[in-house]
Amino acid sequence: MRTDWFSEAGYGLFVHWTSYSLPKSGEKKPYFEAVRDFQLDKFVSQVVASGAKFLFITATHADMMLPFPLKELDEIVPNYTAERDLIGELADALEPHGIRLMLYFNGEGSSTLHPEWREATGFKENPEGHAEYCYKIAEAISKKYGKKIHGWWIDCCYEPGICGGRGTRYDYKRYANALRAGNEDSIVAFNFRGTCAWGSTWGKDIEDFQAGEENGIDFLPKSRFSGEGDTQWFALCWMDEYWVHEKKGEPKPRFQNYEVLEYVRAIKAKGGVFAYNCAVYQEGLIADKTLEQLIWLKEHGITE
């Protein structure tokens, strides 16, 4: 089963690093300059020090801009891709440590920062046509990296009445197939905000694990496959700053060390998986206080 390794891992990191991320010091850089200057070696050493078994990082977030080259996006809208292949470098740097890389992807783009993407793909006028572009870009990314990417977390798949109800534009079977085009073993989750678009009888035929986006650490599994649609149970929570480092100052842990340790142990005891979201600086570094907690958790057996 695709999620066997994921359940066995049990614990990892999730990083929202975007064009909105602020630096630890100095002036904020344009996104592609930040990609160029991302401190990869230091970041990887921090991820290794945390004991994480996997890492999710944003390929896109609110912006349809990619931290790597991709001609398929350049052909639709120019100047939305980086020269540096940050994702490829990151995957290669994590691999010797046995840490699997997965991607967050959101094909919507921002209505304020990137109207060109929405206009070019018919976001409002032709929702199904826009979805076709999302499948195309997702498939291109998957084929670009192949087995270097082990999974996907897809945002903005909400049902009617939830966060604007834009999710019905997608054919999730096609979307999942596009995401697995380069690696059939990739695990996939669509963020429905807990609404379960297809019901509990066949959700697992399309997605492998639930998105599990949470604001606290009191959400526990009944069993390994008690995620929406009988999928692998998974929880993701922002653990220092609210998802992205968008406020000046140092992000600090929201919960006490022992609270986090006992929570993750309870999840793992049922075969579930937890991801600790870090609001990383624009330089590509985890905040000091957050890193201190992550190292403490590792030293006290969170990965065991």
Q: What is the pLDDT of residue 229?
A: 81
Q: What is the pLDDT of residue 162?
A: 44
Is 200's pLDDT higher than 60? no
Is 161's pLDDT higher than 60? no
What is the architecture of the domain spanning 4-299? Alpha-Beta Barrel (3.20)
Is 236's pLDDT higher than 90? yes
Q: Which tokens is 228 given?
A: 């929406």
* Helix 288-299 / helix 257-269 crossing angle, nearest 10 deg: 50
Tell me which of 1 and 113 has the higher pLDDT: 1
User: For the whole model, what pTM was predicted?
Assistant: 0.94
Tell me the C-alpha distance between 244 and 142, whole Å.
25
Helix, strand or coil, per DSSP, at residue 16: coil
Q: Where are the domains of the chain?
A: 4-299
Residue where the block lists tokens 């599994």: 221
Measured CA distances, 41 to 31, 57, 63, 92, 117 (Å)? 19, 16, 25, 11, 32
Reported as a pLDDT band with limits 50, 70 and 90, residue 193 is low
Tell me the C-alpha distance between 153 and 156, whole Å.
10
Which letter does DSSP use for residue 188 in this model?
Answer: E
Angle (CA) 165 277 50, round 5°: 155
Mean pLDDT along residues 199-216: 77
Q: What is the mean pLDDT of the chain?
A: 92
Residue type, 159: E
Lowest average pLDDT, out of 19-33, 70-84, 86-100, 122-136, goes to 122-136
Instruction: Determine contact, residues 2/43, Cβ cutoff 8 Å.
Output: no
Q: What is the pLDDT of residue 159?
A: 56
pLDDT above 70 covers a percentage of the chain that reads 92
| C-alpha neighbours within 13 Å on the C-beta side of residue 136 | 14
Which letter does DSSP use for residue 231 in this model?
Answer: B
Is 164's pLDDT higher than 70? no
Which tens digits make up the pLDDT trace of 43-98? Answer: 999 999 999 999 999 999 878 999 999 999 999 999 999 999 999 999 999 999 99
Rg (CA), the chain: 18
Mean pLDDT along residues 258-267: 98
Residue ranges of the alpha helices (H) in 12-63?
Answer: 31-37, 40-50
Measured CA distances, 98 to 38, 52, 150 (Å)? 22, 10, 12
Measured CA distances, 243 to 113, 198, 229, 276 (Å)? 19, 28, 26, 10
